[in-house]
């Protein structure tokens, strides 16, 4: 298999990143990085003006040089106002993520001997347009060709589904380092359909570390007589304490007690924590994930057409904590618990998705080369022919026919995590509101047209203002306050002359599988229309992108 056929999958995590590819046997695989670890801390250390370090050593530098270390920047993806400042330079989250991507890609190139260019990168299910675009930009900044940005739970379900025969309705419970999400997915032989998704973008293993750090602060205060607030405000000590707490947390995954020695203000303090104590101080955090899980299950029960789960798939490094599985088993005895490399499964699923799309592209090429008809998607090809061309495409990838047919032609359907609407006068409320055309959990792609009317006599133009919000509803039409929506774009529809009040305007929202929104407003009488150009708030301009590239070129990266 030549290098260009390989698409690598990358899980760009808040705390750890992971890269996978699909080997010659059709099995997704993660190779150890140059620190001999399967995942790489998403941490960047600006050692001096030109040298930047990524990964484990960067994380260790938090102990000595915390103000030169950037971490958890995934939370700032697409945030226009956020910068990490060091040596008089300001870095966006995209640029820092690009450095992480470069590191994991270089390591994987060394170990696999392959040149990596095409990648599928994952992002949280709740990422909006700006954040997805930022993820894509991070990849491009790292010199990669980002074929797709797909949701993390979908990727996890793809990897799980690849080993699964038959149908399953799965809850993907993903508790990572910085985020928690819970996603209901229906898996069948030839399809994978996301039904609903929820979660908390600010809840992850890091919160467990912080809870344990605060526990240790109290212990140090007791032993030394120092004030707990002073200990917490000692930035260097606290940064170190967080790292120690993460280690202690991991120890408690395997042992009942974790023992630590701290050096505070010249005094040595011995402290220990038992698993029971740890579970007690972090109970409210776990409670939140259980409550959200239950609300997703209830939503599935209440919503017609939505199926209830049989299985719960544990994803994310924090599901290694025994408290997670124990609690889930106790709360949801009806669910079968599955886990399969929780901290690699997302990257593996992304790699499988990449291979699936390559196989399909190649199969279509084979079809178009060998038949007198032309097709653009596999849906246009009859079943028998589909098997033939997917098998042939699979051969070129060294894949067994069964594997190629399993993966190729599988439809993957996501849902939107945002609602999209237009600003309009709502008669019933006698007020301007955002009238949503597309709602959270609607399947993508989506294509919706709604009729609006002009508001005044002799109106010559119509203002079209498009907004994004997080309103969740079962109603076909819903309205949302402008104050809880984010403006995406505006345009003016020219009617070409004065028209009476109540002239019909048809507005069409098309949401692509990538989550890109295309809006057209058309005056039904004249056919005059306007294509609304979406301005993605938070996306980098071409100049900013070029500048970011040149800033990166001035850095040498090491491990």
Ligand X SMILES: Nc1ncnc2c1ncn2[C@@H]1O[C@H](COP(=O)(O)OP(=O)(O)OP(=O)(O)O)[C@@H](O)[C@H]1O
Q: Please report, as ranges, the residues that interact with ligand X according to CB under 6 A.
A: 11, 13-16, 39, 74, 176-179, 204-206, 246, 249-250, 253, 316-318, 320-321, 343
Give the residue with the Cβ less far from ligand X, 285 or 519: 285
Return the residues of window 8-37 that contact Mg ion according to CB under 5 A: 13
Q: Which helix (H) or strand (E) holds 428?
A: none
Using CB distances below 5 to 8 A depending on partner kind, what does residue 260 bind out of ligand X, Mg ion, none? none
Using CB distances below 5 to 8 A depending on partner kind, what does residue 499 bind out of Mg ion, ligand X, none? none
Using CB under 5 A, count the residues that bind Mg ion: 2
What are the CA-CA distances from residue 208 to residues 272, 330, 374 (Å)?
A: 16, 21, 55
Least distance CB 119 / ligand X (angstroms): 16
The region of 156-164, 173-181, 475-483, 522-530 touching Mg ion under the rule CB under 5 A is: 173-181
Encoded tokens for 413: 């359907």
- What does the H/E/C string look like for 369-402? HHCCCCCCCHHHCCHHHHHHHHHHHHHHCCCCHH
Q: Report the phi/psi class of residue 61: left, alpha or beta, with left for phi > 0 and alpha for psi in -120 to 50.
A: alpha
Q: Which helix (H) or strand (E) holds 503?
A: none
Encoded tokens for 513: 């599988």
Give the residue with the Cβ less far from ligand X, 42 or 522: 42
Least distance CB 81 / ligand X (angstroms): 21
DSSP 165-207: -S-EEEEEEEE-SS-EEEEEEEEETTEEEEEEEEEETT-SHHH
* Residue with smallest beta-carbon separation from ligand X: 205
Report how far residue 95's alpha carbon sits from residue 90's, in angstroms, rounded to the nearest whole number. 10
What is the torsional sign of CA 216, 225, 231, 54? negative
Using CB distances below 5 to 8 A depending on partner kind, what does residue 15 bind out of Mg ion, ligand X, none? ligand X
Number of H helices, E strands in the chain: 15, 30
Give the residue with the Cβ less far from ligand X, 137 or 246: 246
Using CB distances below 5 to 8 A depending on partner kind, what does residue 178 bind out of Mg ion, ligand X, none? ligand X
Least distance CB 411 / ligand X (angstroms): 25
Give the residue with the Cβ less far from Mg ion, 300 or 352: 352
Least distance CB 151 / ligand X (angstroms): 11
Give the residue with the Cβ less far from Mg ion, 158 or 511: 158
Using CB distances below 5 to 8 A depending on partner kind, what does residue 59 bind out of Mg ion, ligand X, none? none
In the three-class reduction of DSSP (H, G, I as helix; E, B as strand; rest coil), residue 316 is classed as: coil
Least distance CB 74 / Mg ion (angstroms): 9
* Residue with smallest beta-carbon separation from Mg ion: 176
Least distance CB 87 / Mg ion (angstroms): 30
Using CB distances below 5 to 8 A depending on partner kind, what does residue 249 bind out of ligand X, Mg ion, none? ligand X
What is the phi/psi pair of residue 183, to 5°? -135, 135
Query: How do beta strands 191-200 and 16-22 pair?
Result: unpaired
Whether 458 and 517 have beta carbons less than 8 Å apart is answered as: no
> Residue 445: is the preceding peptide bond cis (ω within 30°)?
yes
Using CB distances below 5 to 8 A depending on partner kind, what does residue 39 bind out of ligand X, Mg ion, none? ligand X
DSSP 207-252: HHHHHHHHHHHHHHHHHH---HHHHHH-HHHHHHHHHHHHHHHHHH
What are the CA-CA distances from residue 190 to residues 168, 413, 443 (Å)?
A: 12, 11, 17
Sequence-distant (≥ 6) Cβ neighbours of residue 359 within 8 angstroms: 390, 393, 394, 397, 399, 404, 407, 408
Least distance CB 221 / ligand X (angstroms): 25
Using CB distances below 5 to 8 A depending on partner kind, what does residue 293 bind out of ligand X, Mg ion, none? none
Report how far residue 440's alpha carbon sits from residue 420's, in angstroms, rounded to the nearest whole number. 8
Least distance CB 150 / Mg ion (angstroms): 13
Alpha carbon 257 to chain centroid, angstroms: 34
Give the residue with the Cβ less far from ligand X, 127 or 148: 127
The region of 30-38, 47-55, 169-177, 256-264 touching Mg ion under the rule CB under 5 A is: 169-177
Give the residue with the Cβ less far from ligand X, 74 or 275: 74
Least distance CB 324 / ligand X (angstroms): 9
Give the residue with the Cβ less far from ligand X, 108 or 511: 108
Give the residue with the Cβ less far from Mg ion, 176 or 515: 176
Report how far residue 529's alpha carbon sits from residue 460's, in angstroms, rounded to the nearest whole number. 13
Using CB distances below 5 to 8 A depending on partner kind, what does residue 240 bind out of ligand X, Mg ion, none? none
Give the residue with the Cβ less far from Mg ion, 198 or 468: 198
Give the residue with the Cβ less far from ligand X, 148 or 320: 320
Report how far residue 168's alpha carbon sits from residue 170's, in angstroms, rounded to the nearest whole number. 6
Tell which one of 28, 176, 342, 515 touches Mg ion (CB under 5 A).
176
Using CB distances below 5 to 8 A depending on partner kind, what does residue 522 bind out of Mg ion, ligand X, none? none
Least distance CB 344 / ligand X (angstroms): 9
Least distance CB 20 / ligand X (angstroms): 13
Least distance CB 32 / ligand X (angstroms): 15
Give the residue with the Cβ less far from ligand X, 39 or 454: 39
What is the torsional sign of CA 75, 156, 9, 137? negative
Name the residue among 117, 155, 202, 116 with its Cα closest to residue 28. 155
The region of 168-176, 250-258, 271-279, 457-465 touching Mg ion under the rule CB under 5 A is: 168-176
Using CB distances below 5 to 8 A depending on partner kind, what does residue 343 bind out of Mg ion, ligand X, none? ligand X
Residues making contact with Mg ion (CB under 5 A)? 13, 176
């Amino acid at each position: 298999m030549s290098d260009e056929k390989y698409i690598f999958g990358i899980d760009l995590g808040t705390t750890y990143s992971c890269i996978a590819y699909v080997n010659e046997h059709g099995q997704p695989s993660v190779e150890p990085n140059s620190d001999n670890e399967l995942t790489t801390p998403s941490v960047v250390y600006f050692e001096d003006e030109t040298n930047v370090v990524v990964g484990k050593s960067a994380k260790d530098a938090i102990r000595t040089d915390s103000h030169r270390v950037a971490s958890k920047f995934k939370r700032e993806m697409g945030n226009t106002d956020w910068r990490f400042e060091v040596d008089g330079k300001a870095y966006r989250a995209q640029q820092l993520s690009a450095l992480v991507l470069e590191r994991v890609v270089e390591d994987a190139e060394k170990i696999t001997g392959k040149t990596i260019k095409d990648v599928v990168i994952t992002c949280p299910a709740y990422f909006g347009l700006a954040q997805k675009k930022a993820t894509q930009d991070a990849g491009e900044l790292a010199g990669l060709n980002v074929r797709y940005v797909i949701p993390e739970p979908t990727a996890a379900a793809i990897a799980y589904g690849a080993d699964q025969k038959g149908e399953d309705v799965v809850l993907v419970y993903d508790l990572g380092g910085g985020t928690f999400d819970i996603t209901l997915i229906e898996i069948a032989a030839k399809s994978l359909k996301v039904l609903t998704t929820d979660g908390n973008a600010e809840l992850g293993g890091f919160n467990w570390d912080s809870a344990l750090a605060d526990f240790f602060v109290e212990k140090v205060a007791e032993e030394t007589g120092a004030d707990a607030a002073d200990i917490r405000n000692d930035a260097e000590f606290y940064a170190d304490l967080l790292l120690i707490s993460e280690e202690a947390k991991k120890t408690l995954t395997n042992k009942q007690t974790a023992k630590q020695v701290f050096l505070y203000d010249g005094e040595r303090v011995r402290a220990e924590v038992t698993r029971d104590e740890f579970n007690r101080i972090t109970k409210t955090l776990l409670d939140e994930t259980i409550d959200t899980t239950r609300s997703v299950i209830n939503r599935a029960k209440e919503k017609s057409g939505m199926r209830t789960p049989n299985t719960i798939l544990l994803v994310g490094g924090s599901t290694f904590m025994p408290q997670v599985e124990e609690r889930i088993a106790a709360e949801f005895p009806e669910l079968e618990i599955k886990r399969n490399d929780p901290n690699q499964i997302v990257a593996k699923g992304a790699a499988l998705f990449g291979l699936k799309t390559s196989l399909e592209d190649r199969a279509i090429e084979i079809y178009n080369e060998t038949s007198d008809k032309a097709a653009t998607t596999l849906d246009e090809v009859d079943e028998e022919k589909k098997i033939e061309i997917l098998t042939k495409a699979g051969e070129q990838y060294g894949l067994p026919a069964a594997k190629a047919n399993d993966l190729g032609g599988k439809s993957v359907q996501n849902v939107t995590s945002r609602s999209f609407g237009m600003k309009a006068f709502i008669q019933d409320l006698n007020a301007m509101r955002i009238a949503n055309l597309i709602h959270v959990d609607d399947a993508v792609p989506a294509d919706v047209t709604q009729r609006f009317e002009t508001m005044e006599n002799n109106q010559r133009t119509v203002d079209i203002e498009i907004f994004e919000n997080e309103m969740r509803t079962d109603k076909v039409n819903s309205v949302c306050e402008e104050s809880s929506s984010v403006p995406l774009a505006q345009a003016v529809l020219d009617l070409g002359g004065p028209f009476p009040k109540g002239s019909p305007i048809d507005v069409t929202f098309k949401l692509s599988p990538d989550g890109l929104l295309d809006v057209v407003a058309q005056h039904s009488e004249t056919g005059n229309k306007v294509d609304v150009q979406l301005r993605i708030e938070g996306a980098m301009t071409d100049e900013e992108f070029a500048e970011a590239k040149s800033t990166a070129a001035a850095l040498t990266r090491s491990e």
